[in-house]
Amino acid sequence: VQLVESGGGLVQVGGSLRLSCTASGFTFDDYVIGWFRQAPGKEREGVSCISNSDGITFYSDSVKGRFTISSDNAKNTVYLQMNSLRPEDTAVYYCAAIEDMITIKIIWENAYEYEYWGQGTQVIVSS
């Protein structure tokens, strides 16, 4: 099983980045892919997730309206489009996978629930 993130980098306040998470080694359509982030000295925070079986999405309040998650099942890839970036968005961003379940809308932000993790990609928003 492998999850590989890409697309991080340095961007100015108000700018945009698109992160990618490419998965292999499991049945992509049966899983939810979540994006988490962790800033220095802070706990890992759930940002967004998407169900690859029905396309349902969830967002944290801190990114709602600015970030958009999408999935290309043919490419086993999930994207996180990040617009109107702020300094507080600076963090290492991770994607993770959990088998889809009926309670996903309740647990999606719980990092400990996820089975597989990528290595992370750094996002720095400069003011």
At residue 42, the pLDDT reads: 96
Between CA 72 and CA 58 the distance in angstroms is: 17
At residue 74, the pLDDT reads: 96
What does the DSSP 8-state code read for residue 66? T
Angle at 4 between CA 15 and CA 32, to 5 degrees: 90
At residue 102, the pLDDT reads: 87
Between CA 34 and CA 60 the distance in angstroms is: 11
Between CA 89 and CA 28 the distance in angstroms is: 28
What does the DSSP 8-state code read for residue 77? E
Tell me how far the alpha carbon of residue 50 is from its chain's centroid: 9
pLDDT tens, residue order, the chain (127 aa)? 999 999 999 999 999 999 999 999 999 999 999 999 999 999 999 999 999 999 999 999 999 999 999 999 999 999 999 999 999 999 999 999 999 988 888 999 999 999 999 999 999 999 9
